């Protein structure tokens, strides 16, 4: 167990730019840490809106905070890189194990990450949808800043994946403002 190593690994996400935005020519693209932070705050807020039990709310927020930690070692892998999903999962799994080995409760966080990856529980399904909602919020911010750029592919991806009625309402309200 080495908390300082863990803190260092988490810190790597502050300088790791989100690959999808970089590939689309966004200068000063958001970092993975910025994305994870807003996703966690969205999780906190939506948990109250959905009346999640305290235990579920905590799991959702914790899951949001750790869902991209493996990228500290493997980078932000996006579909355009043509890395098969299975290989991406294995790379991230190995990275997550390495990162969480530095925490006293590392096995719990690794299992929480696996829950997110498997996307079968109520909490993990919510987080996947919030991850997409955060991506749409960011895409709309970039569209405003870079008037010539359009990010409809991100919006369509979110529309396909977001099924929770409250999150869907938020998405549609966001899209009305563009």
SS (H, E, C) 56-103: HHHHHHHHHHHCCCCHHHHCCCCHHHCCCHHHHHHHHHHHHHHHHCCC
pLDDT in tens, 118-167: 999 999 999 999 999 999 999 999 988 887 667 888 899 999 999 999 99
Q: Which helix (H) or strand (E) holds 151?
A: none
**pLDDT score of 148:** 63
Are 73 and 100 in contact, with CB atoms under 8 Å apart?
no
Note the Cα 142 to chain centre separation in Å.
18
For the chain, the structural domain boundaries read 3-176
| pTM of the entire predicted model | 0.93
Block mean pLDDT (10 aa), the chain, length 178:
93 96 91 98 94 96 97 85 85 95 96 97 97 95 81 90 96 88
Architecture of domain 3-176: Orthogonal Bundle (1.10)
**pLDDT score of 145:** 87
**pLDDT score of 76:** 84
**pLDDT score of 78:** 79
Question: What are the φ and ψ backbone dihedral angles of 16, each rounded to 5 degrees?
Answer: -85, 115
């Amino acid at each position: 167990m080495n908390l300082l190593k863990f803190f260092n690994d988490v810190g790597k996400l502050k300088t790791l730019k989100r690959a999808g935005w970089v590939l689309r020519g966004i200068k000063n693209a958001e970092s993975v840490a910025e994305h994870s932070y807003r996703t966690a705050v969205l999780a906190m807020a939506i948990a109250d809106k959905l009346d999640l039990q305290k235990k579920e709310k905590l799991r959702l927020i914790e899951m949001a905070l750790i869902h991209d930690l493996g990228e500290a070692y493997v980078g932000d892998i996006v579909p355009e890189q043509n890395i098969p999903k299975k290989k991406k999962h294995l790379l991230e799994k190995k990275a997550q194990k390495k990162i969480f080995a530095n925490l006293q409760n590392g096995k719990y966080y690794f299992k929480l990450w696996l829950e997110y990856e498997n996307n079968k529980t109520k909490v993990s399904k919510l987080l996947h949808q919030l991850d997409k909602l955060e991506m749409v919020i960011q895409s709309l911010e970039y569209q405003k800043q870079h008037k010539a750029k359009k990010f409809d592919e991100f919006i369509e991806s979110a529309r396909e994946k977001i099924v929770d009625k409250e999150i869907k309402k938020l998405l549609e309200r966001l899209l009305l403002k563009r």
